[in-house]
Amino acid sequence: MEKYGSKLLGTSYKDPITSFSHFQNFSVQHPEAYWSIVLKELSVSFHEAPKYILDTSNKSKQGGTWFPGSVLNIAECCLLPRTHPRKEDNSVAIVWRDEGCDDSNINHMTLKELRERVMLVANALDAVFSKGDAIAIDMPMTINAVIIYLAIILAGFIVVSIADSFAAKEIATRLRVSKAKGIFTQDFILRGGRKFPLYSRVVEAAPYKAIVLPVIGNDVGIQLREQDLSWKEFLSSANHYPRSNNYIPVYQPVESVVNILFSSGTTGEPKAIPWTQFSPIRCAADSWAHIDVQVGDVCCWPTNLGWVMGPILLYSCFLSGATLALYHGSPLGHGFGKFVQDAGVTILGTVPSIVKAWKNTECMKGLDWTRIKSFGSTGEASNVDDDLWLSSQSYYNPIIECCGGTELASSYIQGCPLQPQAFGTFSTASMTTGFVILDEHGIPYHDQACVGEVGLFPLYMGATERLLNADHDEVYFKGMPMYRGMHLRRHGDIIKRTVGGYFTVQGRADDTMNIGGIKTSSVEIERVCDCADDCILETAAISVAPVDGGPEQLFIFVVLKKGSSIEPEKLKILFSRTIQSNLNPLFKVNYVKIVPEFPRTASNKLLRRVLRDQIKYELSTRSKI
């Protein structure tokens, strides 16, 4: 803002804080100007430069044609030294520590060491696979997983991202849809000193070649199939190259696919979402602009390459010159917190359920997190009390909320250090992102306080243009209204704009409910019910119409804190009173059920659909009786 504000905004520019909203609006109206700046600020080097930033002449491409004619290798951009942002061969690219080694020194890898290691793996890939093959990664986000990820793209292959928590059936589905020719995995996953099988799940899912890394030591701790290779054997296949630590990258058009990720799969087969080389630029740019990731930062965010946050973290660090911090173990205990302290983490990303666990178990007591300048939060709705606790761990520094999707390669709403931040809310649309909030008739609200489905402007650099196993237009555009000559893009979130101009996510469009003729959302009710009594860990709200018809009835599922006990009927009274005093006096809780845990996807998203189906079945059974 200080560098470019006056040039772009002219006399209307005052200072970065006062003029931020104006600058964001400018970026929506003039994306070419914004992206020309970003390309200079990030570590993006084109093998063949784009003819221009944006071409909108082809009206069949609703998102426009970005950087036409450009050719690059985005993995090479991550690995090369650069004067701006300042990345040198001896810069620390990655720091890491293994679980159980809490008192050992932090491990470091320089940019040069990372590049040589990636190039070694790239040479080995050429010896085993054919150019253009899709190759899966199904393992924790370790330093070797990051090396493998970059090597696959450097060598002109395609990464297939699979989360290490999936069962064999889910792994098999993703391998089938992506047409993967091989898979990198580990023999086991190590958590709390215990070994959990991973290779055996991959074997059950995949007839393809697996390259298996050991979780401990240099040798795998399990018998491999005949067609599979140990990590040591795989690397030795590069020995016949005279300079195995050197590699000429495969340069491809910017629209080439480099990574296949998957939606959470809350209903049916998960959507296979292809990331092109636009996607890394988008996510790194948003982290640079909204979380202030820059040279000198140490960024840590517990995640996995199978979820969108894994690649986002990787590119956000390497394209901005920051250091990536990896903890090889569970993020739920003291060991992770000590790593954050010892590694000097400056930006710590979180998921609200992890923060809740830290706060409830008090496992981070006595640690010094004061190097942290900001926190990030994504994945689910945040709890204000938990956010207050988290912020207090480092001088009450801001928590930047992020909400987006795999198909967008980033967030459409976020926080920003240049604006006052309120816990559990989003302060702005992300840079170059335009959207409207639609009422139930598909008509956009003006800039007043409101609740409705979000409709994104289609001109969004980095967003998908196709899906591998679904009709892209049907998923994202069919049924969405026109706005100022633009066909709005569907995202599926219901968001609320407050009087102060902040945003909160109220849930998905299919999580809305009609209680007493008034539309509300599951998330809104859950936020109120979570605070109804100290014994409550979390709640889930759904509505179901009676079997014989009539108005929707409100059902609240409850998970109690460990050791707590309370009667459902008492909770029903508490919830009704709380909802009526905080939301609407006409809302009535019809049913409360205490359960040990909620059904969730592997990425921890609450499956309200499963709870809804459960209640429908119970109501149906009762009606027959």
DSSP state string for 395-407: TT--EEEEEEEGG
Helices (H), 189-300: 199-205, 231-236, 278-286
Q: What is each CA distance from 157 to 131, 154, 350, in whole angstroms? A: 6, 8, 31
Residue 352 has pLDDT above 80, yes or no: yes
Cα pseudo-dihedral 234, 237, 241, 245, rounded to 10: 10
Phi, psi of 182, deg, nearest 5: -170, 175
Q: Pinpoint the residues of the chain covered by CATH 3.40.50.980.
A: 105-259
Is residue 624's pLDDT more than 80? no
CA distance 426 to 50: 33
Averaged over 470-496, what is the pLDDT? 94
The residue that leads in pLDDT, 440 or 452, is: 452
**The one-letter amino acid at 126:** D
Q: Is residue 42 predicted with pLDDT exceeding 90?
A: yes
Query: Is the pLDDT score of 514 beyond 80?
Result: no
Position 162 pLDDT exceeds 70: yes
What's the pLDDT band for 389 if we cut at 50, 70, 90? Answer: very high
Q: Mean pLDDT over residues 147-159, rounded?
A: 99
pLDDT tens by residue, 566-605: 999 999 999 999 998 887 777 889 999 999 999 987 777 7
Closest CA to 96 of 81, 106, 83: 106
The answer to whether the CB of 595 falls within 8 A of the CB of 607 is no
CA distance 431 to 355: 27
Q: Order of strands across the sheet with 410-414?
A: 107-110, 92-98, 323-328, 298-300, 347-350, 374-377, 399-405, 410-414, 428-429
Give residue 506's pLDDT band: very low, low, confident or very high (50, 70, 90).
confident
Q: Model confidence over 423-437: pLDDT tens digits?
A: 999 999 999 999 999
Return the bridge partners of 213, or none.
Answer: 186
Percent of the chain beyond pLDDT 90?
Answer: 80
Sign of CA dihedral 85, 91, 94, 97: negative
pLDDT, residue 623, reads 61
At 266 the pLDDT is 44
What fold characterizes domain 105-259?
Rossmann fold (3.40.50)
Instruction: Tell me the residue type at 326.
Output: L
- How many other C-beta atoms are found inside a 10 Å radius of the C-beta of residue 207? 10
Q: With cut-offs at 50, 70 and 90, classify the pLDDT of residue 370.
A: very high
Q: What is the pLDDT of residue 231?
A: 98
| Best CA proximity match to 555, nearest among 608, 596, 622, 519 | 608
Q: Is residue 347 helix, strand or coil?
A: strand
Of 514, 515, 456, residue with least CA distance to 481: 456
pLDDT at 550 (0 to 100) = 66
> What's the average model confidence in pLDDT over 306-333?
97
Q: How confident is the model at residue 400 (pLDDT cuts 50, 70, 90)?
A: very high
Q: Which of 225, 205, 221 is nearest to 213 (CA)?
A: 221
List the strands of the sheet with 209-213, edge to edge.
Answer: 229-230, 209-213, 182-186, 134-138, 158-161, 257-262, 272-276
Structure confidence by residue, pLDDT tens digits, 240-257: 888 888 999 999 999 999
Buried b (16+ CB within 10 A) or exposed e, 516-537: eeeebbbbbbbbbbbebbeebe
Highest CATH level, class, for 516-624: alpha beta
State residue 351 phi and psi, 5-degree precision: -120, 135
Task: Pick the more confident residue, 22 or 609.
Answer: 22
327 close to 339: Cβ distance less than 8 angstroms: yes
pLDDT band, residue 621 (cuts 50/70/90):
confident
Name the pTM for this structure. 0.88
- Nearest CA to 210 among 137, 270, 151, 158? 137
pLDDT band at 264 (very low <50, low <70, confident <90, very high): low
Neighbours of 567 (CB within 10 A): 10
pLDDT reported for residue 267: 44
**Which is higher by pLDDT, 62 or 539?**
539
Q: What is the pLDDT of residue 477?
A: 95
Closest of 211, 240, 229, 219 to residue 120, by C-alpha: 240
Query: Over 80: is that where the pLDDT of 551 sits?
Result: no
Q: Identify whether the C-beta of residue 166 lies closer than 8 Å to the C-beta of residue 137.
A: no
- Which class for 550: exposed (0-12), middle (13-18), buried (19 or more C-beta within 10 A)? exposed
Residues of the chain with CATH 3.30.300.30: 516-624
Q: What's the CA angle centered on 349, arms 344 and 351, to 5 degrees?
A: 140
pLDDT value at 179 more than 50: yes
DSSP 3-state assignment of 160?
strand
Q: Judge contact between 220 and 209, C-beta under 8 A.
A: no
Phi/psi at 234 (nearest 5 deg)?
-60, -50
Across 178-198, average pLDDT: 94
Residue 587 vs residue 343, higher pLDDT:
343
Long-range contacts of 452-456 (CB under 8 A, 24+ apart): 452/494, 452/495, 453/492, 453/493, 453/494, 453/495, 453/509, 454/412, 454/491, 454/493, 454/494, 454/495, 455/480, 455/481, 455/483, 455/488, 455/489, 455/490, 455/491, 456/412, 456/488, 456/489, 456/490, 456/491
**If DSSP codes are grouped into helix, strand and coil, which group holds residue 536?**
strand
Question: Among residues of the chain, what percentage have pLDDT more than 70?
Answer: 98
**DSSP conformational letter for 366:** T
CA atoms of 425 and 465, how far apart (whole Å): 29
CB 1 within 8 A of CB 19: yes
The confidence score (pLDDT) of residue 161 equals 98
Beta carbons of 460 and 432 less than 8 angstroms apart: yes
- How far apart CA 46 and CA 620 sit, in angstroms, is 61
